C-alpha cells in the first residue's frame, strides 16, 4: 500500500464512497482531541484520497466501439440475366420449365452429416432470407403478365390511326382499411406508457441544478467540519444531508458566494443546532435520570416532529446541585470553542429549573455562559423562591396570614432525625414579627408556629409534626411535595 490509501486502511485506489466509509471508520480510532497530530494526518490523507477518487471518476471512458464486419452482399446477376430481364420474360419457356422441373430428390444419409455444411451453417442461415427474398422478387404472376401483353397488342391494333388512348394501369390490390378503434387504442397506450416517462425526465432535468448545488454544499460542509457528509435528498424546497459520525440528518441551503476570507460560507445549515442538542443530551444522560433535558420551542411547548429546539430546559433538585451546575458551566464553555459552534453560531436559550420551576434563563446572544452567576443564584435564592411559590400557591397563605402582607426569610437548613429540610420564616410586613416557620424537603411542606418548633425534638414529636392537618395539594408534580402539606 502507499499514501494516502494506507492511512485510510485501503488496499489501493478506491471509489469516492469507499474512501468516505474508510475515513468514517478510522475516525472512531483517531479522535481530534486525543490525537491532534494523528487526526491531521488522517484528514490530509482523506482529502488527497478523495481528490484522486474524483479524478479517477471523471477520467472513466466507455468501452471502445467494436464494429461488426459487413455482411457479404449477394452476387450481382450477370449481363445475360440483365439483358433477359430487359427484353421481358419468355412465358412459354417459363411454363415448360415449371412443368418439366424434376421433383426434389431425397437426401442421402451421408449428406445429413456433411461437416462442411455444419461449419458453414451460420453463414447459410444468414444468406437464406436473402435468397428467399430474391426468389420472391423473381416470381411472376403469369396471369397478370398475359393480361398486360394482350392489352398491349390491342393497343397496337387500334383502328383509325388516331392517338392511342392512354394505357390503363393495372389495378393494385386494395390496401386494408385502417380501423379507427385500433388507432385510438394505440394513441391511448402510447400516452399511458410514454407520459410518465416524459414527466419523470422533466422532473429529473428540473432537479439537476438542485442536485449540483447540493453536492457543492456537501463538499463545503466536509471541508469546514472535517467529517464525511452524505446527500440524501435535494429539490427546490429542501436539501437533506446525513452526518454518519453522529448519526444525524440535517438540512442546508445555498446562501450567497463562498468567501472564507470575508466569513462567507456559501451556505446556511441547521447542523449547529443538531450538534448542540446531541452534546447536551449526552451530557445529561451521563449524569443520570435525575437531570432532565427538555427540548422546547419558542413558546415553551414540547417540540413537534419537524421542529428544532429553541429552548433547552435543564431541571435539577432545588438544592445540593452545585457540582452539576459547575460541570454544566465547563461543558458550555467547551462547546462554545468547537469549530462547528464558531462557524454556525446556533441561536438558543438555556432555561434552568428547580423541579420544573424556572429560575434563570440564558440566551446565546448574551455572550459566554454565566456559570458563576447561575450557581450563586441557585445557592442563595432558589430555596427561598421555591418555598415562597408553594406557600402562596396553596391554602397556607390564607390560613397563616389572612389578608396581611408577608414575606419569607431564609434561615438555612436543618436536620430532623436524619431528614434534611430548608427552614424559612414567615414574617409579617407590618410588624416584622415571625408568625410561622416552614420546613420543606421535596416530600413534605410543614407549617408550624415558632413556639412549637424545636430542632432537637424527640422522635415522637417529629412524627406528630408530620401528622398535622392535611392541606390539599394543587398539583402532583414537583416542586409540590410528593407526600403532602401539613399545618400544625
pLDDT value, residue 78? 45
- HSE-up of residue 365 (Cα within 13 Å, Cβ side): 2
pLDDT value, residue 455? 92
* DSSP collapsed to 3 states, the chain: CCCCCCCCCCCCCCCHHHHHHHHHHHHCCCCCCCCHHHHHHHHHHHHHHHHHHHHHHHCCCCCCCCCCCCCCCCCCCCHHHHHHHHHCCCHHHHHHHHHHCCCCCCCCHHHHHCHHHHHCHHHHHHHHHHHHHHHHHHCCCHHHHHHHHHHHHHHHCCCCCCCCCCCCCCCCCCCCCCCHHHHHHHHHHHHHHHHHHHHHHHHHHHHHHHHHHHHHHHHHHHHHHCCCCEEEEECCCCEEEEECCCCEEEEEEEEEEEEHHHCEEEEEECHHHHHHHHHHHHHHHHHCCCCEEEEECCCCCECCCCCCCCEEEEEECCCCCHHHHHHHHHHHHHHHCCHHHHHHCCCCEEEEEECCEEEEEEEHHHCCCCHHHHHHHHHHCHHHHHHHHHHHHCCHHHHHHCCCCEEEEEEEEEEECCEEEEEEEEEECCCCCEEEEEEECCCEEEEECHHHCCCCCCHHHHHHHHCCEEECCCCCCCCCCCCEEEEC
pLDDT value, residue 304? 86
pLDDT value, residue 101? 46
Cell numbers that stand for 296 in this block: 422546547
9: left (phi over 0), alpha (psi -120 to 50) or beta: left
pLDDT tens across the length of the chain (488 residues): 588 888 888 888 888 889 888 988 888 888 888 888 888 888 889 899 989 988 888 875 434 434 344 444 444 444 444 444 444 445 444 444 444 444 444 444 444 444 444 444 445 455 555 555 555 544 444 455 555 656 665 555 445 444 445 555 545 555 455 567 777 877 887 777 777 766 765 555 555 578 888 999 999 999 999 999 999 988 877 799 999 998 889 999 999 999 999 989 999 999 999 999 999 999 999 999 889 999 999 999 999 877 899 999 999 988 889 999 999 999 999 999 999 999 999 999 999 999 888 999 999 999 999 999 999 999 999 999 999 999 999 999 999 999 999 999 999 999 999 999 999 999 999 999 999 999 999 899 999 999 999 999 999 999 999 998 999 998 878 888 989 999 99
Whether the Cβ atoms of residue 234 and residue 214 lie closer than 8 Å to each other: yes
Does the pTM of the predicted model rise above 0.75? Answer: no
pLDDT value, residue 152? 60
| Assigned CATH topology for domain 1-54 | Helix Hairpins (1.10.287)
User: Max CA-CA distance within the chain?
Assistant: 159
235: left (phi over 0), alpha (psi -120 to 50) or beta: beta
How far is CA 141 from each of CA 75, 144, 146, 436, rounded to the nearest angstrom? 25, 6, 9, 131
pLDDT value, residue 36? 85
End-to-end CA distance of the chain: 83
φ/ψ of 208, rounded to 5, equals: -65, -45
List the beta bridge partners of residue 230.
Answer: 242
pLDDT value, residue 2? 81
The residues spanned by each domain of the chain are: 1-54, 207-269, 271-380, 382-487
Whether the Cβ atoms of residue 248 and residue 275 lie closer than 8 Å to each other: yes
pLDDT value, residue 434? 95
φ/ψ of 457, rounded to 5, equals: -60, 155
Cα–Cα distance for residue pair 408/416, rounded to 1 Å: 21
Number of neighbouring beta carbons within 10 Å of residue 233: 14
pLDDT value, residue 198? 62
Amino acid at each position: 500500500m502507499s499514501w494516502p490509501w494506507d492511512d485510510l486502511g485501503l488496499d489501493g485506489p478506491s471509489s469516492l464512497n469507499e474512501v468516505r466509509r474508510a475515513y468514517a471508520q478510522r475516525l472512531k480510532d483517531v479522535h481530534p482531541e486525543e490525537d491532534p497530530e494523528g487526526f491531521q494526518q488522517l484528514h490530509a490523507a482523506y482529502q488527497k484520497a478523495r481528490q484522486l477518487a474524483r479524478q479517477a471518476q471523471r477520467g472513466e471512458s466507455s468501452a471502445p466501439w467494436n464494429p461488426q464486419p459487413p455482411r457479404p452482399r449477394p452476387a450481382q446477376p450477370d449481363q445475360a440475366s440483365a439483358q433477359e430481364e430487359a427484353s421481358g420474360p419468355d412465358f412459354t419457356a417459363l411454363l415448360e420449365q415449371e412443368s418439366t422441373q424434376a421433383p426434389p430428390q431425397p437426401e442421402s444419409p451421408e449428406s445429413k452429416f456433411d461437416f462442411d455444411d455444419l461449419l458453414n451453417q451460420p453463414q447459410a442461415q444468414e444468406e437464406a432470407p436473402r435468397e428467399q427474398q430474391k426468389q420472391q422478387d423473381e416470381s411472376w404472376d403469369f396471369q397478370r403478365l398475359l393480361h398486360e401483353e394482350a392489352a398491349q397488342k390491342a393497343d397496337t391494333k387500334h383502328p383509325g390511326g388516331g392517338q392511342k388512348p392512354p394505357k390503363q394501369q393495372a389495378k393494385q390490390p386494395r390496401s386494408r382499411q385502417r380501423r379507427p378503434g385500433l388507432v385510438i387504442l394505440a394513441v391511448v397506450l402510447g400516452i399511458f406508457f410514454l407520459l410518465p416517462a416524459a414527466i419523470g425526465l422533466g422532473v429529473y432535468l428540473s432537479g439537476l441544478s438542485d442536485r449540483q448545488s447540493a453536492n457543492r454544499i456537501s463538499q463545503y460542509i466536509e471541508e469546514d467540519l472535517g467529517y464525511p457528509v452524505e446527500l440524501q435528498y435535494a429539490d427546490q424546497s429542501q436539501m437533506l444531508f446525513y452526518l454518519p459520525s453522529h448519526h444525524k440528518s440535517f438540512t442546508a441551503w445555498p446562501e450567497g458566494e463562498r468567501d472564507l476570507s470575508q466569513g462567507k460560507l456559501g451556505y446556511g445549515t441547521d447542523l449547529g443546532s443538531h450538534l448542540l442538542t446531541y452534546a447536551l443530551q449526552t451530557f445529561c444522560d451521563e449524569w443520570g435520570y435525575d437531570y432532565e433535558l427538555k427540548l422546547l420551542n419558542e413558546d415553551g411547548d414540547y417540540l413537534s416532529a419537524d421542529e428544532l429546539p429553541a429552548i433547552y430546559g435543564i431541571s435539577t433538585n432545588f438544592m445540593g446541585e452545585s457540582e452539576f451546575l459547575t460541570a454544566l458551566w465547563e461543558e458550555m464553555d467547551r462547546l462554545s470553542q468547537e469549530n462547528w459552534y464558531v462557524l454556525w453560531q446556533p441561536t438558543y436559550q438555556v432555561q434552568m429549573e428547580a423541579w420544573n420551576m424556572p429560575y434563570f434563563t440564558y440566551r446565546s446572544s448574551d455572550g459566554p455562559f454565566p456559570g458563576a452567576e447561575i450557581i450563586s443564584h441557585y445557592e442563595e435564592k432558589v430555596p427561598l423562591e421555591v418555598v415562597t411559590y408553594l406557600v402562596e400557591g396553596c391554602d397556607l397563605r390564607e390560613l397563616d396570614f389572612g389578608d396581611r402582607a408577608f414575606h419569607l426569610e431564609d434561615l438555612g437548613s436543618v436536620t430532623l432525625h436524619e431528614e434534611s429540610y430548608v427552614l424559612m420564616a414567615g414574617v409579617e410586613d407590618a410588624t416584622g414579627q415571625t408568625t410561622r416557620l416552614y420546613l420543606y424537603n421535596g416530600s413534605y411542606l410543614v407549617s408550624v408556629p415558632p413556639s412549637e418548633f424545636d430542632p432537637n425534638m424527640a422522635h415522637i414529636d417529629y412524627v406528630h409534626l408530620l401528622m398535622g392537618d392535611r392541606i390539599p395539594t394543587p398539583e402532583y408534580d414537583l416542586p409540590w411535595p410528593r407526600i403532602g402539606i401539613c399545618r400544625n
